[in-house]
Structure 1
Amino acid sequence: MLRRVHSKHYGHEWNVAAAVLRGCNTKELLKEYFSVMGRRFGIFFEVFPYGKRMQEATDLDSFLDSAIEDMKEDKWLIQNGDTFELTERGEFEARKMLAELENSGRLLEKATRAETVSRVTIVVHFILAALKLPTAILSGSVGLLN
């Protein structure tokens, strides 16, 4: 089993590793991938840099250069000329991140189902009734009792 290496830019490496795992094995393909992902969320301008890297990166190119260098240092990525390939560790981390995203999506989907929302609503109403009844009796409030 691979040991998890903590990097100060772990999230950035995950993003790039997932893109390489999906076949974006050159810098141009990575740039296109991040542009497409931004457009899917309604972002039609360059949003890089973001987060703590704002001081380090001024655009998508420098963001990618920095992430790629970090990935090479952490032994996640091998560069052969203009192409990139994930190492066993890089592939493991990318698949792990994607699995966590899928799991989060399933939990969110389950939590927002009509059945789940209805059950939670009924439980909340019973809890509120249990709190209001003794308060109404102690205060003598007919309005609260209703």
Structure 2
Amino acid sequence: MRNWNVYLSGEIHTDWREQIEAGVKSAGLPVSFSAPVTHHEASDDCGVTILGEEPDKFWHDYKGASVNAIRTRTLIGDADVVVVRFGDKYKQWNAAFDAGYAAALGKPLIVMHGPDHQHALKEVDAAAFAVVETPDQIVHILDYVINGNLAGYTG
């Protein structure tokens, strides 16, 4: 049986990744997960920590984004499916970029957000193969895609 590689991008302030991973494990699905670095300070400061301090915040952020892009682009490129979560608390511009990058590579894209983001994310949603509101819906999609299983799902 094939092992599916799912990249989990986006919001880092809730446990949505853990919910998907637990649901996939419970369903016994052959899925491996990858993600960006989700430790906020490490992600923000990796560039200056490794490459040297920057007095200008633009270059501080540029170095961090560049170092993080090595991981992000590699893992999205290796993914079978890319999931992008847009949370309520912050604007996840990097998640929008990840969604666009995945779409440009022709990766199957699942976007997750609440109804309050429908208008703002209409172009991202249009590029997605599915738009969901819950981690459980992602688990159900993966179960169906992998096993053709619809049993017990009511929508």
Q: Normalization by structure 1: what TM-score? A: 0.24
Judging by fraction of residues, say which structure has more strand: 2
User: Which has the greater radius of gyration?
Assistant: 1
Q: Greater helix share, 1 or 2?
A: 1
TM-score, scaled relative to structure 2 = 0.23
